[in-house]
Amino acid sequence: MSSVKKMVVDWKGNLRFDSRNEKGLTVSIDVPKDHGGEETALSPTENLLASLAACTSIGVLGILKKKRQNVTDYAVEVTAEKREDPPPRVFTKIHLKYKIKGENLSSQAVETAIKLSEEKYCAVGEMLKKSVEITSSFEIQ
């Protein structure tokens, strides 16, 4: 069974766009100045990295909640390497570093949550891992 998603991308001048879903929610997109943009929003590839981090985070936080882990602060630092030549300059490596704070957090629970989210629940990661190496690490602060 499949479902259909629809996005509309509206041009806002120069190389700026607003992406809008069926509910009317929007995300702005722009490109760096050295590519002719104005840097008023994340670039398409930055949005991709943010989407990957958010997608895995939804799973990680949901799993940790089910495991009754008390998370008080959470962030994901994403680093990515791009191929320079030939264009297009695609990502060749992406690394997600999960930074988690909480009370009495189990490192085993965190590791399991990350693994399950990355391997089973995150659709963005599932699509990307077919073309780019994705690694991860975590630290409990």
Going from N- to C-terminal start, the domains of the chain cover 1-41, 44-140
Mean pLDDT of the chain: 96
Q: Is 39 left (phi over 0), alpha (psi -120 to 50) or beta?
A: left
Find the DSSP H helices in the chain: 44-66, 107-116, 123-128
Q: What is the pLDDT of residue 86?
A: 86
Task: Kindly report which listed range (32-41, 80-89, 130-139) carries the lowest average pLDDT score.
Answer: 80-89
Give strand pairing partners of 10. 18
**Mean pLDDT in residue range 47-66:** 98
Q: What is the pLDDT of residue 87?
A: 86
CB 98 within 8 Å of CB 64: no
pLDDT band (50, 70, 90) for residue 23: very high
Report pTM: 0.93
Burial class (CB in 10 A: 0-12, 13-18, 19+), 3: exposed
Name the superfamily (CATH) of residues 44-140.
Answer: K homology (KH) domain (3.30.300.20)
In percent, how much of the chain has pLDDT > 90? 94
Q: What is the pLDDT of residue 39?
A: 96
Query: What is residue 135's three-state secondary structure?
Result: strand
CB 137 within 8 Å of CB 95: yes
Q: What is the pLDDT of residue 22?
A: 95
